Structure 1
Amino acid sequence: MGWGAADINECMNNPCIPYGTCTNTPGSYRCSCPSGYRGDGKRNGSGCIPISVPHGKLAIGVGLSAGMGLLVLLSTCFWLYKFQKKRRSKNRKEKFYKRNGGLLLQQISTDEGILQKTRLFSVKELEKATDHFSESRILGEGGQGMVYKGMLSDGKIVAIKKSKVVDENQVEQFINEIAMLSQVIHRNVVKLLGCCLETEVPLLVYEFICNGTLYDHIRDNNDEFPLSWNMRLKIGVEVSEALAYLHSATSIPIYHRDIKSTNILLDEKYVARVSDFGTSRSIAVDHTHLTTLVKGTFGYLDPEYFQLSQFTEKSDVYSFGVVLVELLTGQRPISLAKMEEERSLATRFLLCMEAHNLKTILDSQVLEQGKREELIAVAKLAQRCLNLNGMKMPLMKEVAMELEIIKISQTHSTTSDTKYQELLLPKSKAILVSDDDYTWTSTSGNIIPSSEVQPLMIHTA
């Protein structure tokens, strides 16, 4: 045939088994088996025989496949759960934020231009600051809630107050207080740094004061750093100045409503700082008093307020009077060990004053260190603060001025008694202390009963 024979496609004759694959080659052909089979795939050959898989390997394969499927399913469920949890948490935070007056606070802050002064903390920030409110971070616990020590991300140490309950009917009043107290800047008032409204009960964040409460220092007066009379008088001046500021110098008068030695903190320099405004109330200009449920602490409560539930600035004056007596005597405001009629420190103090027997109730350290004139002047001022008739009590700013004058007199230790008395009162009213039963002698030489001595009043032009 000239150049040679032509190649024939051998696959046309179907030499392979039905499910085999035929591939034509020059002068021949090749059969191949599908996956999972072995053999030459030819009809006249070994054909294609299924490859048998060992039972163990098959089980492993099935198990791995099922495991991978289950892992994918669990991962999907986990991320769906996380997403739903995050979404629910966000919704809860938004719900609490609105319920706790967050939108109102934003509006007030914007309207009054105090947005920078009322810081809103996230619950995540405060949980991190307190190790999720760990018990090891608890500073104290009161009837209204817990106080935790925390450290913010910038390293600042703070005190975080977590209340137990919230009155939804007073949210607006609470928010107004937050906005107002955030603006209070006084060296003797613990600064409110901000709040968190994303929790069921709002959290309040205050600056941290490191040296504990006045109550602790009075009760545990140690030899290493005793609370001297000079320090006690200084603390009395500082607390009175803070209350006078809140009553008179703020745009709206603020009444604390729970002044007591446990709410007076001492910083690293033993400067007094008034704290815990959990029961404080601001008083609008057109209101003379606020009628509420009786709040405060027994032993410090103004009897007039306790009976009438009518709170005025004089109620704070009464409570401060009890603190003054604590500073003078070193005793607890309530003593359960005594008979019922003598349990109140204020009552025992007033009885001693009426009997001209002040020495018997004063702290021994105060008696040793304090000048007679100073002690009597402070005691008489405390007596006026504890007057059962609010109309006869001094104003807080008057109390602060009188204590400041008594303190100033300490810097004039060489000044004669007469000059000291002239500093306290006009010359016509100057008084001199005579013997131990606390009768009083005027500069004219006439004897005046102590009950007739005029209160120390400071008049300015």
Structure 2
Amino acid sequence: MPPPPLLLAAAVAAALRAATAGFDPSRKLGDGGFGTVFLAYLPPGGRPAAVKRLHVPPSPSPSFPSASATITKSFCNEVLILSALRHPHLVRLHGFCADPRALLLVYDFVPNGTLSHHLHRRCGVTAAAPPPPPLPWRTRLAMAVQIASALEYLHFGVKPAVVHRDVTSSNIFVEADMRARLGDFGLSRLLSPPDACATGAGRELVCCTAPQGTPGYLDPDYHRSFQLTEKSDVYSFGVVVLELVTGLRPVDVGRERRDVTLADWVVAKIQVGELREVVDQPVLGEGAGVMASVEAVAELAFRCVAPDKDDRPDAREALAELRRIQGMLPEVSGLKGS
């Protein structure tokens, strides 16, 4: 991996505080496990950017003595990893500020919310905005191609390989033209040989680490074995693809216990030939012309969420299959997969 580039010299705490109007709540774009993201207008010229302010405890807590260390590690992870990555479907890090009072990260501003917002239609980018319209199937498939392309780059295009470790629809950001970009690298790991506790067949590296991630997306093989590989990202990506197919949330406690997670529920439906029962209604409404590609995408997702990592495709295979499926649809001007 090349050395990190020179980061934004103006990204100091006072300037970023001013750029976010003092971290005004009306500028809030979203909350994550480690921080809150605000809309900023950077000098000179007022260029929009997204500033993540990490939640640094004011002092070590007796109840959670490691909280500050965990947040600092997340900050260092994002700086180390994202500053060296360049891909059209990754959110780009432009700068950072490690101030005693705040840990701040400066990203591209991606103006159209998250994939989760669009799929689950909760609200717009801001609380006052109306819910977005349903995503057409062609757009959903293009987004799957784009995120698979980002994962293929992370797993095969850089050395050491990067495992994102938190691929979710809430960490996929949507551009004004509906292109998707993967962000939030706070949990990511580099799969470098010194960190590997074992090697598998071929190029696979295995990193031994306590499972972390988001419920509903967490690889059960990783959760069971504590062995993190690129296939853990593939599992999470498979859940995102199932969200694209169904429009449903990854976890729903309203379903029967065995079907609480989307992966378990949809896999069971696929196995008994009932996929159409769970396809998102707006997609079904597009007619029979799209169903062959919907079924092919669902079959790929079925493989991605296989309980055993060795039964899953890698990101390169998933990308190739999605591009093949995309070719089943007639060309439309202005929509591209990567």
Q: TM-score, normalised by structure 2?
A: 0.82
- Counterpart code for 1:298: P
Is 2:105 the counterpart of 1:204?
yes
Distance change >3 Å, CA 335–CA 148, structure 1 → 2: same
* Structure-1 residue corresponding to 2:49: 158
* Structure-2 residue corresponding to 1:128: 18
Paired residue for 1:279, among 187, 191, 197? Answer: 187
Rounded Cα–Cα distance in structure 2 between residues aligned with 1:170 and 1:132: 21
Task: Answer 1 or 2: which has greater helix percent.
Answer: 1
Rounded Cα–Cα distance in structure 2 between residues aligned with 1:238 and 1:133: 32
User: Displacement, 1:187?
Assistant: 1.0
Rounded Cα–Cα distance in structure 2 between residues aligned with 1:213 and 1:235: 12
* Structure-2 residue corresponding to 1:144: 34
Distance change >3 Å, CA 113–CA 290, structure 1 → 2: closer
Paired residue for 2:214, among 297, 302, 309? Answer: 297
Rounded Cα–Cα distance in structure 1 between residues aligned with 2:331 and 2:177: 24
Q: Superposition pairs for residues 302-321 of structure 1, below 5 Å? A: 302-321=219-238
Distance change >3 Å, CA 203–CA 389, structure 1 → 2: same
Rounded Cα–Cα distance in structure 2 between residues aligned with 1:290 and 1:119: 34
Is 2:241 the counterpart of 1:324?
yes
Rounded Cα–Cα distance in structure 2 between residues aligned with 1:224 and 1:171: 35
User: Displacement, 1:318?
Assistant: 0.4
Rounded Cα–Cα distance in structure 1 between residues aligned with 2:248 and 2:23: 34
- Counterpart code for 2:30: G
User: Displacement, 1:407?
Assistant: 0.7
Q: State whether residues 75 and 186 of structure 2, in contact with CA within 8 Å, keep that contact through their aligned partners in structure 1.
A: no
User: Displacement, 1:380?
Assistant: 0.8
User: Displacement, 1:173?
Assistant: 8.8
Distance change >3 Å, CA 399–CA 228, structure 1 → 2: same
Q: State whether residues 7 and 96 of structure 2, in contact with CA within 8 Å, keep that contact through their aligned partners in structure 1.
A: no
Rounded Cα–Cα distance in structure 2 between residues aligned with 1:362 and 1:407: 18
Rounded Cα–Cα distance in structure 1 between residues aligned with 2:305 and 2:278: 16
Q: State whether residues 177 and 282 of structure 1, in contact with CA within 8 Å, keep that contact through their aligned partners in structure 2.
A: no
User: Displacement, 1:170?
Assistant: 9.2
Q: State whether residues 333 and 344 of structure 1, in contact with CA within 8 Å, keep that contact through their aligned partners in structure 2.
A: yes
Is 2:107 the counterpart of 1:216?
no
Is 2:276 the counterpart of 1:375?
no
The unaligned stretches of length 5 or more in structure 1 are: 1-107, 414-461
Q: Superposition pairs for residues 442-461 of structure 1, below 5 Å? A: none
Q: State whether residues 155 and 162 of structure 2, in contact with CA within 8 Å, keep that contact through their aligned partners in structure 1.
A: yes
Q: Superposition pairs for residues 17-166 of structure 1, below 5 Å? A: 114-117=4-7, 121-154=11-44, 155-165=46-56
Rounded Cα–Cα distance in structure 2 between residues aligned with 1:253 and 1:167: 27
User: Displacement, 1:156?
Assistant: 1.4
Q: State whether residues 163 and 202 of structure 1, in contact with CA within 8 Å, keep that contact through their aligned partners in structure 2.
A: yes
Post-superposition CA distance 1:163-193 (Å, at most 9, x none): 2246548968964752441121111111011
Which is further off, 210-219 or 364-373? 364-373
Rounded Cα–Cα distance in structure 1 between residues aligned with 2:250 and 2:34: 20
Rounded Cα–Cα distance in structure 2 between residues aligned with 1:162 and 1:173: 12
Post-superposition CA distance 1:316-362 (Å, at most 9, x none): 00000001000101111111212221211111101011111111111
Distance change >3 Å, CA 223–CA 261, structure 1 → 2: closer
Post-superposition CA distance 1:140-166 (Å, at most 9, x none): 122222111111112111111122246
Paired residue for 1:334, among 251, 259, 265? Answer: 251
Distance change >3 Å, CA 324–CA 271, structure 1 → 2: same
Rounded Cα–Cα distance in structure 1 between residues aligned with 2:239 and 2:139: 17
Q: State whether residues 148 and 159 of structure 1, in contact with CA within 8 Å, keep that contact through their aligned partners in structure 2.
A: yes
Rounded Cα–Cα distance in structure 2 between residues aligned with 1:261 and 1:237: 14
Q: State whether residues 134 and 282 of structure 2, in contact with CA within 8 Å, keep that contact through their aligned partners in structure 1.
A: no
* Structure-2 residue corresponding to 1:452: none
Q: State whether residues 120 and 195 of structure 1, in contact with CA within 8 Å, keep that contact through their aligned partners in structure 2.
A: no
Distance change >3 Å, CA 186–CA 119, structure 1 → 2: farther
> Number of matched residues?
303
Q: State whether residues 165 and 233 of structure 2, in contact with CA within 8 Å, keep that contact through their aligned partners in structure 1.
A: yes
- Counterpart code for 1:126: L
Secondary structure in 2 matching 1:382: helix
Post-superposition CA distance 1:402-438 (Å, at most 9, x none): 101111221379xxxxxxxxxxxxxxxxxxxxxxxxx
Distance change >3 Å, CA 363–CA 169, structure 1 → 2: closer
Rounded Cα–Cα distance in structure 1 between residues aligned with 2:13 and 2:103: 10
Paired residue for 1:250, among 154, 158, 164? Answer: 158
Higher-Rg member (1/2): 1
The unaligned stretches of length 5 or more in structure 2 are: 57-66, 123-129, 197-204, 333-338
Distance change >3 Å, CA 354–CA 169, structure 1 → 2: closer
- Counterpart code for 1:197: A
- Counterpart code for 1:322: V
Please tell me the root mean square deviation across aligned C-alpha atoms, in Å.
Answer: 2.5
Paired residue for 1:192, among 93, 96, 106? Answer: 93
Rounded Cα–Cα distance in structure 1 between residues aligned with 2:72 and 2:297: 40
Q: Superposition pairs for residues 173-188 of structure 1, below 5 Å? A: 175=76, 178-188=79-89
Q: State whether residues 118 and 179 of structure 1, in contact with CA within 8 Å, keep that contact through their aligned partners in structure 2.
A: no
Q: State whether residues 77 and 188 of structure 2, in contact with CA within 8 Å, keep that contact through their aligned partners in structure 1.
A: no
Q: TM-score, normalised by structure 1?
A: 0.61
* Structure-2 residue corresponding to 1:457: none
Q: Superposition pairs for residues 429-448 of structure 1, below 5 Å? A: none
Post-superposition CA distance 1:367-417 (Å, at most 9, x none): 23252321221111000001000011100111011101111221379xxxx
